[in-house]
Structure 1
Amino acid sequence: MTRILMINLPFDGHVNPTLPLAKALIARGNNVDYICSKQFKEKIEKTGANFIPYNSFPDIPTEKEKKKLSFQALYDTSISLKENNYDLLIYEMFFYPGIQVAKQLGIPSVRQFSQSAWSEETWKSASKVFKFSSFLIDTQVMGKKRIKSMQLPFDSMDDAIIHSKPNMNIVYIPESFQKCRESFNDTFYFVVPEQETKIMNEAVNIPYEEMKKPIIYISFGSILSDKSFYKKCLKIFGNKNLSVILNSGKVKPESLGDIPNNIYVYSFVPQVDVLNHTDVFITHCGMNSVNEAIKAGVPMICMPFINDQIENANQITNLKIGKRIHSFPSRTKEIEDTVQELLNNPIYKSNIEKIKNELHENSKWNEILENVEKLCFKNE
């Protein structure tokens, strides 16, 4: 039986896309150990994988501790398992020392991208905010001492991700969504596997059958905790000839005051199910949300804040499957007008349906699984 080690950093957007691969490999008879922080134990074990927690890491880390401690903790834990004689290491691109860990363990590696892949061409045209985020990781998370102690042959995150490549890279986005697709060779596989749908709390009942069409869905995950924007949404859409499902996340619905009858506010929703009832999605453009919107064929209004969200929003606009607006619009009319444009102009719905169909027609999932296993057999 092949022994595969999967490793990852403790962030939902980087862990969640990798879980279908773990589950599929186990279903095919492979043994998978997965290193991550304890907050992901239940999710990881649900795939059938053996969960291994980081050594010397807080059980309930703060966001600052995640950023400061997780890279070193993951590296140290991975190296400590050298005697386990794994056949293959699978790492997510954000933990860019992964390829070097594999070399120290003496095994081949596979890289997973939870966002669009990086190349010299994509980096040249990336936003200043995106580049600055990478720079902060280099200076605040890694630093010269850690780079040296990990024996890394590169000095920066962008240099490592672009130039230090394994022979197999899995990118969890539609192929046509990849910016500068021509800059990636045949070692890059583009796929959007089926994710586990979260079970909704039984106390939450979304009465789709009572809602007046069209339905607008608004969600920014856990990124937005300022209730002023949500109150602005109530003002924009309240008592209009449409319905709104608002996922308020960290903001308690009762803190928003009087809620109009055509607006349904929840602190959590099963997003895949909601998108299947939605006509327009207002989103921060995290890649998981973008993939789910594409799979449901729902055009997006983009309000990005940080990191890859900005690049995703730009690509959504370029492909005309949605439109970007100001992330903190001073004029409510901008949101209202953009909703009407996406509802009334059929080009957005048509374009996103084409990409949705591409996911079904060009899936390389079985080929990916077979090639991952071939790397294991070669190592044996």
Structure 2
Amino acid sequence: MAHIAFFILPAAGHVNPTLSVARELVARGHRVSYALSENYAERVLATGAEFVPYPMDQDRFLATMVPQQDSAAYTDQQEFVNMMKWMLELTRQTLPGFEAHFEDARPDVFVCDPSSFWSGHILAAKWGVPVIRSTPTYVANEHWSLHPPVDTAEEQQEDPETGELFGVIAELLAEHGVDKSIGAFADEVHSGPALVYLPRAFQYAGDTFGEEVGFVGPCTSANSFHGAWEAPATGRPLALISLGTLYNKQPAFFRACVEAFADLAWDVVIAHAGGVDPAELGEVPEHVRVHDFVPQGEVLRHATLMINHGGTSTVLQAVSEGVPVICVPQMAELHATATRVEQLGVGAKILRKDISPELIRETVLAVAGDGKVRDAVARLRHEIESAGGPAAAADAIERLVVPVPAGA
């Protein structure tokens, strides 16, 4: 039995794909631990894993780690600096407690989210334990990256604030006996073995990544956190509308959706994740049902189409149920997914600035009635099913476990 420790960014889109993997590892007899913020305790414990909580200011997390620019590219240097400061602060805050907790039962493998803070990576480097990345979105290499290239020191004088920040990070690494430069440490965080919760066909330049990058698919279908849901017995098409949990405070968008479907013979499920007061939506027709949350997988099994924010896990969960998608992206990563949806023909993209009831209605009817879209969804669904899911992810983790020599 191995001990596997997950250090994951405390956001639903990052946590949820890992839960099925943890459940699979527990079923295989492994000990699994999760270092996560306290609000994920119930989900983690339901997998059979141990929960190692830390306190976190959720409002600050949202303000710091969730990009606010509605742009197709990452361009805000100050957002990057603020994020790095928060990651450093949370690393320093949590590292002593994590080291004390895991000292007597050191993990055999760390599963670390490159987007999260660095406590797991530092402990892995300090103890010589292998790390596998866990990412629900795109990975980068020399052929493709969502982020712009970083200028060298010769090309651009280093920003003083960034330079000071890097100096503090270097001190932290030295304090814990990690004999690596910041550049080498950063390279390790973003390279090496990986679990990517996409099929290779959905990754940009997917055929340029080696076998150590495991494109295992979305891994979300077994997760259900929001009770039961009963499908309407009308036999009409069904649309599910959700902007996830981070970009959901948009009453104007949801009102436009209500208006778009008001005169259509469809059933509609709106899940706003607490982002709006239902009173802000005005008069809602009987065939449009408004919820805080719904069991997304269950609704998708009955859906004809989904409108969402372009979250990669959400898009792929829909396609894995045979459902085309219309994406309304909110920031760079979501724009990349919405564009990929268009490129692969599994749905459409609407920019937030263009939202209107008329455009929503027109796009819904076009996507739902297009046989080429249905064929493309079927092809990508097959790619998802072939990716291997939680079993393939667990296999990749097990391959990193160093066998104990006989007689040791």
How does the TM-score come out when normalised to structure 1? 0.84
Q: CA deviation at 1:72?
A: 3.8
Q: Does 1:208 align with 2:232?
A: yes
Residues 319 and 91 from structure 1, CA distance in 2 versus in 1: closer, same or farther, beyond 3 angstroms?
same
* Contact 1:17/1:172, CA 8 A, preserved across alignment: yes
Q: Does 1:284 align with 2:309?
A: yes
- Listed as ranges, the gaps of 5+ residues in structure 1 are 132-138
Question: For residue 315 of structure 1, what is the amino acid of its counterpart?
Answer: R
Kindly indicate whether structure 1 or structure 2 has the higher relative contact order, using CA contacts under 8 Å at least 6 residues apart.
Answer: 2
Q: Does 1:341 align with 2:371?
A: no
Q: CA deviation at 1:116?
A: 1.8
- Among candidates 180, 183, 199, match of residue 205 of structure 2: 180
Q: Does 1:154 align with 2:182?
A: yes
Q: CA deviation at 1:194?
A: 4.8
Q: CA deviation at 1:364?
A: 6.3
- Among candidates 95, 101, 105, match of residue 127 of structure 2: 105
Structure 1 segments of 4+ aligned residues over 6 angstroms from their partners: none
Cα distance in 2 between the residues matched to 1:275 and 1:247: 12
Find the counterpart in structure 2 of residue 120 from structure 1: 142
Residues 207 and 278 from structure 1, CA distance in 2 versus in 1: closer, same or farther, beyond 3 angstroms?
closer
Cα distance in 1 between the residues matched to 2:396 and 2:313: 24
What is the SS of the residue equivalent to 2:352? coil
Question: For residue 352 of structure 2, what is the amino acid of its counterpart?
Answer: S
Question: For residue 300 of structure 2, what is the amino acid of its counterpart?
Answer: L
- Listed as ranges, the gaps of 5+ residues in structure 2 are 65-85, 151-160, 174-179
What is the SS of the residue equivalent to 2:400? helix
Quote the RMSD (CA, aligned, Å).
2.9
Find the counterpart in structure 2 of residue 51 from structure 1: 51
Q: CA deviation at 1:83?
A: 4.4
How does the TM-score come out when normalised to structure 2? 0.79
Question: For residue 46 of structure 1, what is the amino acid of its counterpart?
Answer: A
Find the counterpart in structure 2 of residue 171 from structure 1: 196
Matched residues, percent identical? 23
In the TM superposition, 1:38-77 aligns within 5 A as: 38-54=38-54, 57-58=55-56, 61-65=57-61, 67=64, 68=86, 69-77=89-97
Could you give the per-residue CA deviations for residues 263-300 of structure 1, whole angstroms, max 9, x where no partner exists? 22222211111111111211101122112111111111
* Contact 2:243/2:309, CA 8 A, preserved across alignment: yes
Find the counterpart in structure 2 of residue 23 from structure 1: 23
* Contact 2:237/2:267, CA 8 A, preserved across alignment: yes
Question: For residue 270 of structure 1, what is the amino acid of its counterpart?
Answer: P
Question: For residue 182 of structure 2, what is the amino acid of its counterpart?
Answer: F
Could you give the per-residue CA deviations for residues 199-238 of structure 1, whole angstroms, max 9, x where no partner exists? 5446xx5442135x22222111222213122122222210
Question: For residue 108 of structure 1, what is the amino acid of its counterpart?
Answer: P
Question: For residue 148 of structure 1, what is the amino acid of its counterpart?
Answer: A
In the TM superposition, 1:228-243 aligns within 5 A as: 228-243=252-267
Q: CA deviation at 1:127?
A: 7.0
Cα distance in 1 between the residues matched to 2:134 and 2:290: 35
Q: CA deviation at 1:93?
A: 2.2
What is the SS of the residue equivalent to 2:19? helix
Q: CA deviation at 1:65?
A: 4.8
Question: For residue 223 of structure 2, what is the amino acid of its counterpart?
Answer: T
Find the counterpart in structure 1 of residue 12 from structure 2: 12
